[in-house]
Structure 1
Amino acid sequence: MRSFRGFAVVDIETTGILPGFRHRVAEIAVVHVDLTGEITHEWSTLVNPDRDLGPQAIHGIRAAEVRRAPKFEQVAGDLLELFRGRVVVAHNLPFDSMHLRAEFARLAVDLSGYLSGGVCTMRLAGAVFSGMRRSLAECCKAVGVDGVRFHTALGDALAAARLFGRLVAGAPGIASSRLQGLPDVHWDLPAMPGALVKPVRRQAAAIAEPHFLARLVDRVPREGDPAMDAYLAVLDGALLDRQISVSEADALVEVALDFGLHKAEVIKVHHAYLRDLARAAWADGRVSVEERRDLEAVADLLGLDADEVELVLREEQAAPTQRPQAQVAEVSIGGLVLRPGDRIVLTGAMRRQRSELKAEAEGLGLQVVSSVSKKTRVVAAADPDSLSGKAKDARLLGVPVVAEAAFIRALESMKE
Structure 2
Amino acid sequence: MTAPLGYAVVDTETTGILPGFHHRVAEFAVVHVDHAGSITNEWSTLVNPDRDLGPQAIHGIRAAEVRQAPRFEQFAGDLLELFRGRIVVAHNLQFDSMHLYAEFQRIGVDVSRYLSWGLCTMRLAGSVFPGVQRSLVECCRMVGVDGVRFHTAHGDAVAAARLFGRMLAEAPRLVASRALSPATDLWELPALRRNLAKPVRRRSLARSEPHFLARLVDRVPRDGEPEKDAYLSVLDGALLDRQISVSEADALVEVAHEFGLHKAEVIGVHHDYLRDLARAAWADGVVSEDERQDLKVVAALLGLEASEVDRVLSQEQASPLERPESRAAQVNVGGLVLRPGDRIVLTGSMRRQRNDLKEEAMALGLQVVSSVSKRTRVVAAADPDSLSGKAKVARALGIPVVTEDAFLRALEALR
Instruction: Please classify the TM superposition score into its range, dividing by the shorter chain length.
Output: over 0.9
Give CA-to-partner distance per residue, 1:297-348, whole Å, 9 cap, x none.
0001011111111111111111234754445773132100000000000000
Match of 1:226 in 2: 226
Match of 1:152 in 2: 152
Match of 2:257 in 1: 257
CA distance in 2 between counterparts of 1:367 and 1:226 reads 38
Match of 1:304 in 2: 304
Deviates more, 1:86-95 or 1:311-320: 311-320
CA distance in 2 between counterparts of 1:82 and 1:328 reads 59
Match of 2:66 in 1: 66
Deviation, 1:173, is 2.9
The residue identity in structure 1 corresponding to 2:135 is: S
CA distance in 2 between counterparts of 1:233 and 1:278 reads 18
Would the aligned equivalents of 1:25 and 1:49 in 2 still touch at CA under 8 Å?
yes
Match of 1:108 in 2: 108
**Are residue 139 (structure 1) and residue 156 (structure 2) matched?**
no
Seen in structure 2, the aligned counterparts of structure 1 residues 267 and 131 have a Cα distance that, compared at 3 Å, is same
Match of 2:29 in 1: 29
Runs of 4+ in 1 over 6 A off after TM superposition: 220-224
Deviation, 1:360, is 0.8
Match of 1:99 in 2: 99
Would the aligned equivalents of 2:226 and 2:260 in 1 still touch at CA under 8 Å?
no
Deviates more, 1:171-180 or 1:267-276: 171-180
Question: Superposition pairs for residues 177-256 of structure 1, below 5 Å?
Answer: 177-181=177-181, 183-219=183-219, 225-256=225-256
Would the aligned equivalents of 1:84 and 1:186 in 2 still touch at CA under 8 Å?
no
The residue identity in structure 2 corresponding to 1:339 is: R
Match of 1:369 in 2: 369
3-state SS in 1 of match to 2:184: coil
Deviation, 1:148, is 2.2
CA distance in 1 between counterparts of 2:172 and 2:80 reads 29
Deviation, 1:3, is 5.6
Would the aligned equivalents of 1:232 and 1:328 in 2 still touch at CA under 8 Å?
no
CA distance in 1 between counterparts of 2:322 and 2:351 reads 44
Would the aligned equivalents of 1:86 and 1:186 in 2 still touch at CA under 8 Å?
no
Tell me the C-alpha RMSD between the 2 structures.
Answer: 1.6
CA distance in 2 between counterparts of 1:224 and 1:180 reads 75
Give CA-to-partner distance per residue, 1:252-297, whole Å, 9 cap, x none.
0011111111111111111100000000111111111100100000
Would the aligned equivalents of 1:83 and 1:186 in 2 still touch at CA under 8 Å?
no
Seen in structure 2, the aligned counterparts of structure 1 residues 305 and 372 have a Cα distance that, compared at 3 Å, is same
Would the aligned equivalents of 2:316 and 2:323 in 1 still touch at CA under 8 Å?
no
Match of 1:121 in 2: 121
The residue identity in structure 1 corresponding to 2:32 is: H
Question: Superposition pairs for residues 337-376 of structure 1, below 5 Å?
Answer: 337-376=337-376
Question: Superposition pairs for residues 261-272 of structure 1, below 5 Å?
Answer: 261-272=261-272
**Are residue 406 (structure 1) and residue 406 (structure 2) matched?**
yes
3-state SS in 2 of match to 1:42: strand
Deviates more, 1:294-303 or 1:186-195: 186-195
CA distance in 1 between counterparts of 2:308 and 2:403 reads 27
Seen in structure 2, the aligned counterparts of structure 1 residues 372 and 277 have a Cα distance that, compared at 3 Å, is same
Would the aligned equivalents of 1:380 and 1:402 in 2 still touch at CA under 8 Å?
yes
TM-score normalised by length of structure 1? 0.96
CA distance in 1 between counterparts of 2:253 and 2:328 reads 18
Give CA-to-partner distance per residue, 1:107-131, whole Å, 9 cap, x none.
0000111111111111111222334
Match of 1:319 in 2: 319
Match of 2:335 in 1: 335
Match of 1:16 in 2: 16
**Are residue 80 (structure 1) and residue 80 (structure 2) matched?**
yes
Structure 2 spans left out of the alignment, 5+ residues: none
TM-score normalised by length of structure 2? 0.97
Would the aligned equivalents of 2:17 and 2:23 in 1 still touch at CA under 8 Å?
yes
Deviates more, 1:130-139 or 1:5-14: 130-139
